[in-house]
Amino acid sequence: MRKAVRWLSVSPPRTLLLGFSIIIVIGAFLLQLPIATANGDKIGFVDALFTATSATCVTGLVLFDTGTYFSAFGHWVILILIQVGGIGFMTMATLFALILRRKISLKERLILQESLNQGSIEGLVRLVRKVILYALALETVGALLYTIRFASDMPVGKALYHGVFHSISIFNNAGFDLSGDFRSFSAYSSDLYMNIVSMGLIILGGFGFIVLADLVEVPFRKTRKFSLHTKVVLSVSAGLIVLGTFVIFVFEFTNGRSVGDDGFGHKLLSSLFQSVTTRSGGVTTVNISEFRQATQFFIIILMFIGASPGSTGGGIKTTTFAVLVGAVLAMMRGKEDVVLFKLRLAKERVYKAVTVTLFCIGIVTLGTMALATTEKAAFLSILFEATSAFGTVGLSMGLTGELTIPGKLTIIFLMFIGRLGPLTLTYALGPKPGRVLFRHAEGKIIIG
């Protein structure tokens, strides 16, 4: 037992692995309580584990309709799991430590560094304060805006309840909703107000707290310049949203089962919303399963890219995608260096981007193969589900509710890796790297 505890606490990645696992298991046990369901029935452990993992990993794939199946107690358990999973349990733990005026140790700073995906431990405690402040501020504003809209459809108390739940869920890119009958936000597909509020929360949550801090602080700096990281995140995010909107709009323009029967403005709004939500949002205003296969495959690509580092979203991240594109362009132009915004990237950054991408492709491939073995469904639907789980997106073509127990366990595994990060999991499970005593002689191999 001591060896197991020592192994888990030996490095920050292992501590994160253990922390997320404990939170998910506690959440699963709470959701198993009869008080957690509206009818008082006790759900199976695998189903509870699936729901707890989906909430903690801010994914949004659900086996039961959240609004009607779970009680208020169940809703609050899910909401707390979303908040802890979205911001990060180490960030929450640091907040309580700061409230209690306890000093943050070096080991805790190293774990925070891993959790927030930072390059150094400098300024981490200050960053944690900003993370908490920005998250609570944006969630509060979102809750207020949602409550104002919901108040026209339901009593004020219920509108506030729905406003708080949806604001936290959507800002954390979790995708859980209380709409009922698995409708998500389809009732508001033509509601410009609801679309703008929801897209704003998804985008801001997907930017990452480092970018949010940069956006807030730049006007007060002397240089008034964004960091390279912020420039890359903003430009790639904007580019992918515009590209996604265009592709979905063109491919679905004449599809009467999705947006084809709507007016031009409604089609454009629905296309924009779907482009935004595929980046890890998880809520929808149209039925994804009715999209054309070309559109569904393109959404898979967007889900695989995902949100940005240090955010509540998943995927390989926008910065990784930018580095890969930069490397390809550099190779095509015969350049040795990858340059973004007139700044050269270190080769180790390029290697890491390639490594992360290959890891992610491998994990999604293995997950898809496992699901194709255990589930009876079309291959594209299986690939969509696996990518959505790994990218912690939460969109589904209808396969989630029909999963077998092995299929549920596969999706749980994909959601967990997607939230924790493939490299973090590798560092956690792998042996401690030893000291390099020599280098091999250089060899040559033909590429292409």
415-436 tens-digit pLDDT: 998 887 766 655 555 555 566 6
> What pTM did the predictor assign?
0.88
* pLDDT, average across residues 11-36: 85
Backbone phi, psi, residue 231, to 5°? -60, -45
- DSSP letter for 37, please: B
Terminal-to-terminal C-alpha distance of the chain = 50
Higher pLDDT, 184 or 198: 198
pLDDT tens-digit profile of 348-403?
A: 889 888 988 999 999 999 999 999 999 999 999 999 999 999 998 989 998 998 99
Higher pLDDT, 161 or 15: 161
* pLDDT, average across residues 267-292: 90
- pLDDT confidence band for 221 (50 / 70 / 90): low
* pLDDT, average across residues 283-296: 91
- In our burial notation (b when 16+ CB lie closer than 10 A, e otherwise), range 83-96 reads bbbbbbbbbbbbee
Structure tokens at 152: 């026209």
Domain boundaries, the chain: 2-429
Q: Is 105 helix (H, G, I), strand (E, B) or coil?
A: coil
Q: Any idea which of 99-108, 197-206, 352-361 has the lowest mean pLDDT?
A: 99-108
Instruction: Give which of 242, 208, 217, 225 is closest to 318, Cα–Cα.
Output: 208
* pLDDT, average across residues 196-201: 94
Q: Is the separation of the CB atoms in 74 and 31 below 8 Å?
A: yes
* pLDDT, average across residues 176-199: 88
* pLDDT, average across residues 431-442: 67
As a whole number, the mean pLDDT across the chain is 84
State how far Cα 311 lies from the chain centre.
7
Residue 83 scores a pLDDT above 70: yes
Given CA atoms 291, 296, 302, 304 in this order, what sign does their dihedral have?
Answer: positive
